[in-house]
Chains A and B, each alone.
Chain A
Amino acid sequence: MIELRDVSRTYKRGADAIRALDHVTLDIDSGRFVALMGPSGSGKSTLLNIVAGLDRPDSGEVVVAGQKLPDMSEDELAAFRARHVGFVFQFFNLIPVLTARGNVELPLLLTHLGKAERRERALTALRIVGLEERAEHHPNELSGGEQQRVAIARAIVSDPEIVVADEPTGDLDAKNAVEILELLRALCTDFGKTVVMVTHDARAEAHVDIIHSLDKGVLADPEMAARA
């Protein structure tokens, strides 16, 4: 599902060049729940962005869902993301002026679906995350955990194969964090999604299939998580 070969990414900061990713090679199979861990600044977000088609490597090959991402134009990448990738961010990033349902519907505006159909699918996605009855609430009327669940509903509403999550539990308390991890786990197990999650959260080990560790842009050998 996801193949990275010799991927490097360098940022220029003044005269210095920071090597955020250093010849990373990585394969992720379909339907897996994968964690990317490592110290701050080790390149986790950079790697995730490249996998999700938000950023491009300086060198190396990236093939996701059968598509060679580095060869694609901005618009092609946008279309790729709309079709294949769902996003969950640390700070939920819901649009405050839209209701939960409006937020979840947003990716569907890019499809040819009619109004009724969009609404129906948004409600289905909200049902999956257990928030159907909060559909007409605005983000500021929801708790952090609930907002993150709405964000997950938004990530899966267009039925992408891949869900990427950058520290999805980073801003949540223990109870909510576990709920989110269980929800992401269910996306893999029950819906066959490939979930790639960047996290600092030790609790994640109990939920994921594989943990990849990054340090200074270099990927260590993968570690099978306890449950695998």
Chain B
Amino acid sequence: MLKFLPFIWRNLARNRLRTTLTTSAIALAVALVCLLLTMPAGLDAIMSSLASNTRIVVVNKGGLVYPLPYAYLNKIRARPGVVAATSWTWFGGAFDVDRGVTFPNFAIEPDSVGTVWEDWGIAPEQLEAFRKRRDGALVGRTTLQQNGWKIGDRVTLSSTIFPVSLEFQIVGEIPLERAPHFWFQREYLDQALRAKTGTGLDFLGTAWVRVDEADRVELLLSEIDAMFRNSEAETSSETELSYMKNFMGQLEGFVTIILIVTGLVALCLVFIAANTASMSVRERVAEIAVLKAVGFRRRLVFNTLLAEAVLLSMIGGGAGLLTALGLTQALKAAGAGWSPALGPLGSFIITPTIFVQALFLALFVGMLSGWIPAFGASRRSVASALREVF
């Protein structure tokens, strides 16, 4: 077969414009398929970078709006494998009462914050200050920026849930763009409520738990839920990752749509390539007849024509793959370099799997598109082909 390669190659080069156009179309479609294929994994990677797999969240089974008894927190802390646990209780504090709640603010336990969210990179001395000051607050970067606050400022929030207003001193920053939270000490709220109403805070909103090993997470999830089954408030525990995925809603559906689009692009590709293959066979009826007259067997005629289609689509596929590789590399470089906002785009990576898939796609497209025209041409009788042409 190798000695026929120059001949096959020359046939491809016969109509340069058409070959170029078809190659480009195939390259573009393969590049598109590659990029689409990076998306499910890319989205997953973005999610994972936003969420930790060893942090689990426990909420009321009835839904996020229902509280859990505060006693649950210590019960959870007592489980083996739990490194630290803290709770969030929604304060619903408004800085400007007319505008309402403009950022999420929670009462939490200051001691375990640094451990549960150690991946958030809060400065140790700020954590320490937070622990020490009863009215201290840790505030997310975006919330600081939006309100023009800085560390050391004093801020008063009026709760839309509790009958209190509290004054805080900002002692630290949560250095994450995506964490707008305003955290303050649960004890501060508890004491204010006792002073005002005579009863303290006896519930929590969500409990956040840091687990020692990823392997233990699954077991702990079911243990915690089992522990509170048939009690006054049943719980639902999830890893932070799945919690976020649910929160993001129809991610799975989105991935399905991506895969369907990918399939359609691939199909489109087959039509483009098949069109080229059948045109190039049709305009060569006489030549193919001559090949057969000279003694080329049917199989050989079929093989050379099929090889031509496969070669064409492999060249296009290779070019498309390189384009997609270049593009993802550029995105990654852009994310790493001048624009941190593009950072997550670096998660769209052409993996070796996608690489191989793309090559196979090109191979299949070539086969599929070349098959019928090549088969027809190889079956055609020489005498009738020559008669038709002349």
Contacts and interface: CB of A to CB of B under 8 A. Distances in A.
> Do the two shown chains form a genuine complex with each other?
yes
A200 interface: no
B390 A74 contact: no
Q: Is the interface of B mostly helix, strand, loop or mixed?
A: helix
Interface string B291-306: 1111111111000000
B383 A110 contact: no
Interface stretch (A31-39, A84-92, A124-132, A186-194): A84-92
Interface stretch (B7-15, B67-75, B250-258): B7-15
Contacts of B11: 97
A110 B3 CA distance: 10
Given A55-B381, A93-B286, A109-B4, A81 B10 contact: no
Contacts of A110: 294-296, 300
Given A78-B298, A79-B297, A83-B295, A96 B290 contact: no
A24 interface: no
A226 interface: no
Nearest to A81: B295
Contacts of B286: 91, 93
Contact of A79 (B7, B290, B295, B386): B295
Interface residues of B, number: 28
A197 to B, nearest CB: 16
Most-contacted residue by chain A among B14, B289, B297 (CB, 10 A)? B297
Contacts of A96: 14
A106 B383 contact: no
Interface in B58-102: none
Nearest to B301: A78
B354 interface: no
Interface in A28-66: 45-46, 49, 52, 54-55
A81 B292 CA distance: 9
Contacts of A95: 287, 290
A75 interface: yes
Nearest to A111: B295
A12 interface: no
A185 interface: no
A58 to B, nearest CB: 14
A191 B13 CA distance: 37
A87 B294 contact: yes
A75 B297 CA distance: 6
A78 B296 contact: yes
Contacts of B7: 98, 102, 106, 109
Contacts of B298: 74-75, 78
B382 interface: yes
A90 B390 contact: yes
Contacts of B299: 75
Contact of B292 (A49, A78, A90): A78
A183 interface: no
A144 interface: no
Given A78-B298, A110-B295, A110-B296, A55 B290 contact: no
Contacts of A75: 297-299
A176 B86 CA distance: 101
B383 A49 contact: yes
Contacts of A172: none
B13 A81 contact: no
Given A97-B14, A110-B295, A89 B3 contact: no
B15 to A, nearest CB: 10
Among B4, B286, B386, the one with the most A-chain Cβ atoms within 10 Å of its Cβ is B386
Contact of A107 (B3, B14, B287, B295): B295
A107 B296 CA distance: 8
A87 B292 CA distance: 11
B390 A87 contact: no
A198 B14 CA distance: 32
A74 B293 CA distance: 11
Contact of A82 (B13, B294, B381, B386): B294
A97 B13 contact: yes
A107 B294 contact: yes
A93 B290 contact: yes
A107 B297 CA distance: 12
Nearest to B293: A87
Contacts of B14: 96-97
B291 A98 contact: no
A81 B293 contact: yes
A227 interface: no
A110 to B, nearest CB: 5
A55 B382 CA distance: 8
A98 B10 contact: yes
B374 to A, nearest CB: 16
B382 to A, nearest CB: 5
A52 B294 CA distance: 10
Given A97-B14, A110-B294, 6 more contacts: A75-B299, A79-B295, A93-B286, A98-B7, A102-B10, A107-B294
8 smallest CB-CB distances across A and B, nearest first, come from: A82-B295, A97-B10, A78-B297, A55-B383, A81-B295, A93-B290, A49-B383, A97-B14
20 contacts: A45-B383, A54-B381, A55-B381, A78-B292, A78-B295, A78-B296, A81-B294, A87-B290, A87-B293, A91-B390, A93-B287, A97-B13, A98-B7, A102-B10, A106-B7, A107-B294, A109-B3, A109-B4, A110-B295, A110-B300
